[in-house]
Every structure is written in C-alpha cells, then in structure tokens.
Structure 1
Amino acid sequence: MEIEVLGGLSVRLPTRSLRLGTPKQQAIFAMLVLQPGRLVPVDDLVDELWSDYPPRSAVANVLSYAANLRRTFESLPSGGCAVVRQRNGYRLDVRPELIDVFRFESDRSAGREALAAGRLDQARDLLSRALARWRGPMLAGIPLGPVLTARAVAAGEERLVATELLAEAQLRSGRDDLAIPLLREVVARHPLRESAYVLLMRGLYERGDTAQAPPARRAPPPSALRRTAPIGSRP
C-alpha cells in the first residue's frame, strides 16, 4: 500500500487504486493521513470542512464519512492501514513511511545533511528522489480548509527548499548545466525568492554568463555571489 498526497490524494494497492469517496470524505482522510497515529477530534474535522458556518448535520456528516472510510479499509485483504474510532475522534493507524510526504521529508533532510557534509553524489541522489515524489500541488482536487491549506503551503515551501538544495549540490559538483534550469524555473514562478535568485546568479557568474540573468529588483554584486554560504551548511 502507498498513500500519496503530493499531487491528488490516492491510495495505491498492488493492483488498483482505492476509491476514497466524495471530496469532503477525501478531506477527512487527508486530515488523518497528515497526522498518522494521532487522534484527530471530530470538532477539528468539522472545522476543516466548514470553517465558517457548519450545518446542523456537520457532526453527523463527519461521522458518516469516517464510517465509510473505516469500512473501506476493513474490506481490504491485507492490513497496513486502518481508520480507528477513539473517544471523540479518529486516528489513522499507518506507518508514516507508507505516505509519500513523509518519505519526501526524510529524503530531503538526509539530502541536506549529506550536502552539509560534502557528500555531493549522495546529496544529489537523495534530493532528486525527494523531488521526484511530487506529481503536482499537494492535495490537488479536494477542498482545503485552514489546516490542510497551511500544511500544503508548508509542503510547497519545503519543495522549493529541496529544489534549491539540489541546485546547490549540482553547482558544487560543477553541473551548472543541471542547476541553472532548475533555478530558472523557480525564479520564473517566484520572482521575489532571493535565495533562488542568488543561487542562479552564482551559477551564471561561475559560467561567465551573467548577461542571461533574469531581471530583479536588486542584483547582488559578484563579490556577494562568491561569499554566499552553501545552503546545505545553514542550520
């Protein structure tokens, strides 16, 4: 079993993908997936689905969605994941390593450590693998309330940091031909992201191609580019 949130929400089985029900039912499942093993109170689930004006049937609807999910996972021939009712809420019994966002975070952290230690080949492998887990925006296609929105925004930032770390590893390996396209894409989508712009300018400067730098409000001088500390060495 593999649970994916880095793109649309899905549960992949060896021979098929699991049907997770309506968008609101999928949002309930996403809340549980992103907090594996932790109790998520029914009130939190209601607030996520109806943050402003929950209907009178809100609690009953959440209980119905959760019951549907419980039956879905109970019907599977093999274990590995279960929706459990506990006191005033639910928890998802699943190993975090079965969820792509937690594998992404593990690879990204290990890649940062490898980069800081100067193990450039290992850093490139780990960070490339971390980024390859993304298939699109996190939880694309389901309604996001305040908790899921904040988690998606945070994950998007982690994705940008991982991209910059990979570009840093490529630059330090002399592979500016691989780093510069990555950084151009980040800067095109996030023109005010200074960390990516400085890395891009550094790569272009080292290649002697600063004339091809994208416009920016403030371009750092060449001396600053030489002094820029590697991302992997930052705390």
Structure 2
Amino acid sequence: MDFRILGPLEASVEGTPLSLGGRRQQRILAVLLLRAGRVVPADRLVDCLWPLRPPATAASQIRNCAAALRRLLIAGGLPERSLVRRPGGYVLDVEPGELDRTRFDDEAHRARRSLAAGRAAEAVGYFLRAENLWRGPAIAGLADGVLEPEAMSLEESRLQVIEDRLEVELSLGRHARAVPELTALARTHPGRDRLQAAFMVALYGSGRGADALASFDRLRSSLRRELGLEPSRRLRDLRQAILTEDDARLPPTGGWGPARDGEPRRQAALLRPRGS
C-alpha cells in the first residue's frame, strides 16, 4: 500500500486509489500517518476533529471513525495489525517505503550524505528525487486547526531541500540554469535568506552583477516598507562582496547556507562570474 501526504491525502494499492471515507476519517488517517509508528492520543484526535467544542459523544465517535477507517484499509490490503487501538490512543504502522514522507526523508539523507562525501552531482539527483515526491501543499485540504503546524513543518523541510539543492547547483557552476527557478522562489519567499542569497549568487555568477544588486535593493525596499526591517547581515555582506568583487568581504564561512558536520564549504571564488 502506498500512502501519500506530500500533497492531498491519498492511499493506493498497486496504483489503484483507495477510498478513505469521509472528511473525519481522512483527518484521523492524516494524523496517524504524521505520527506513523507512534501512539496518537485519543485526545489529539478529538482536537483534530473538534478544535473548539467537542461533543459529549466525541470519544465514541472517534472509536467509530477509527473502526470504519480500519475496515477500509484492511479491505485495501493493509494487515489487520497495522492499525490498532492501544491504551490511550491509536497507532498506525506502515512498512518502510509505504509513506511518501519517509521516502522524502530518505532521499534527502542520501543527498546530504553524498554531498558530505564530495559527490555534488550525485547529491543533486537525490535532492531532485526528494522534491519530485511532492504533489502540492502537504495534506492539502486538511491542513487546518491542529494539522496546520504539521503541514508547515513539512513545507519547511521541502524548502530546506530546495535550498540545499540549489546551493549545490551553484557550487557546480550552474548559475544561469538556476536563475529562472530562483527568480520565482525569491519572489514567493522574501523572508528566506538562503533563497535570496542564492538568487543574488546565481545572477552574479551569470554575469548579471547589476541585476544581483537590483534584487537586493528591491528586497530592502520591500522589507522596509512592509516590516520596517533591514536585510540580514549575511545579505548585506554578500551585496558588498558583489559590489566590490572583493572575496575578502564575503561571510566568514565562504558559503551562504548553514554549516553541517562533514559538509564541504563553498569557496568564495564560486561567487565570481564564470570566465572572470
């Protein structure tokens, strides 16, 4: 069985979609998949279905919904032992590879392991495989109430993978190729320093230093106007490095993303336009 939460909630058996019942059963399944292999307290399921004022029959309705969901999943081929009631709650066990969120984490881990070993091009491939598991916003249509923070956490993981992959692409000299994607991402996520920095680097590395500086100016104007804030020190340092073509003025890490144990540092020279 294949469960998917990186987009609308779906379950399928050998490619055939499985009916998941009504909205309440779907929300229960979403919570169980987000905590796959761990006991989900019944109180959390109640909060998921009735965040403000649960009815007096909430506990019995949870039992009924969970039982109906269990019947649907068993009919689809899930082993009976996979969804069970435990003291205090419910637990759903899924096999390795049956949940897209787990596959996403595995591909991202392979990518970062390849990067730490110096295999940058291989890392890009794994990052892309992780990104391609996404079909839209996480648990789309269900990500409200107590599920909203879970969906936001998944989205943050997705964006971190995109940032990691783009930084590796830039380290491989693929500046011009990255510009269109970064143009859209920088516009959509003005508060993400790594994306803004990568956008400036991609433009500068493509021989478009003036555009890189203009992107910084637009961001600064937007932050001042909407939030009364200035761009981060990281971005200001990067602007100065681009403005003066002075590698000594780059951030001390020589890169633009957070350091990880064993991760190779991007060298300041990577910011220079190709052929300079």
TM-score by length of 2: 0.78
2:216 equivalent to 1:216: no
The structure having more radius of gyration, on CA atoms, is 2
- Alpha-carbon spacing, 1:77–1:105, altered in 2? closer, same or farther (3 Å): closer
Task: Report the alpha carbon displacement of residue 108 of structure 1 after superposing the two structures with TM.
Answer: 1.4
**Map 1:30-179 → 2, pairs under 5 A:** 30-77=30-77, 79=79, 82-142=82-142, 144-146=144-146, 148-179=147-178
AA at the equivalent of 2:76 = L
For each residue in 1:70-99, what CA deviation from the matched residue of structure 2 results, as whole angstroms up to 9, or x when unmatched?
111222346498311122311102124211
Measured after TM superposition, the shift of residue 20 of structure 1 is 0.7
**Contact 1:163-1:182 within 8 A present in 2 as well:** no
Amino acid at match of 2:168: A
SS at match of 1:97: coil
Is 1:3–2:3 an aligned residue pair? yes
Partner residue, 1:231: 257
AA paired with 2:219?
Answer: A
Aligned partner letter, 1:20 = L
Q: Kindly tell me the number of residue pairs found equivalent between the two proteins.
A: 234
TM-score normalised by length of structure 1: 0.90
Counterpart-to-counterpart distance in 2, 1:2 and 1:80:
16
More moved, 48-57 vs 3-12: 48-57
**Per-residue deviation, residues 196-215 of structure 1 (Å, max 9, x unmatched):** 11111112112220333432
Distance 1:81 1:168 in 2: 44
Deviations 1:29-53 (A, max 9, x none): 0111111111112111101222221
Q: 1:19 is matched by which residue type in structure 2?
A: S
- For CA contacts below 8 A with separation 6 or more, give which structure has more relative contact order: 1
Asked if the contact 2:176/2:203 (under 8 Å) is kept, the reply is: no
Amino acid at match of 2:187: A
Are 2:18 and 2:76, in contact at CA under 8 Å, matched by a contact in 1? Answer: no
Once superposed, what is the RMSD of the aligned Cα atoms? 2.1
CA distance in 1, matches of 2:129, 2:81: 24
One-letter amino acid matched to 2:102: F
CA distance in 2, matches of 1:40, 1:22: 20
CA distance in 2, matches of 1:27, 1:19: 13
Counterparts of 1:78 and 1:201 in 2: how far apart (Å)? Answer: 49
Name the CA shift for 1:63/1:51 in 2 (closer, same or farther; >3 Å): same
1:200 aligns with 2:226: no
The 1:98–1:42 alpha-carbon spacing in structure 2 relative to 1, beyond 3 Å, is same
Amino acid at match of 2:136: G
* Contact 1:81 1:94 (8 Å CA) reproduced: no
- What percentage of residue pairs aligned between the two structures are identical? 35
Partners of 2:37 and 2:126 lie apart in 1 by 26
Question: Does 1:14 pair with 2:20?
Answer: no
Deviation at 1:114, TM superposition (A): 2.1
Structure 2 residue runs without a partner (length 5+): 221-230, 262-276
Q: 1:187 corresponds to which letter in structure 2?
A: A
> SS at 2:3's partner residue?
strand
Task: Give the direction of change, closer, same or farther, for the CA distance of 1:78–1:141 in structure 2 (3 Å limit).
Answer: closer
Cα drift, residue 233 of structure 1: 4.1
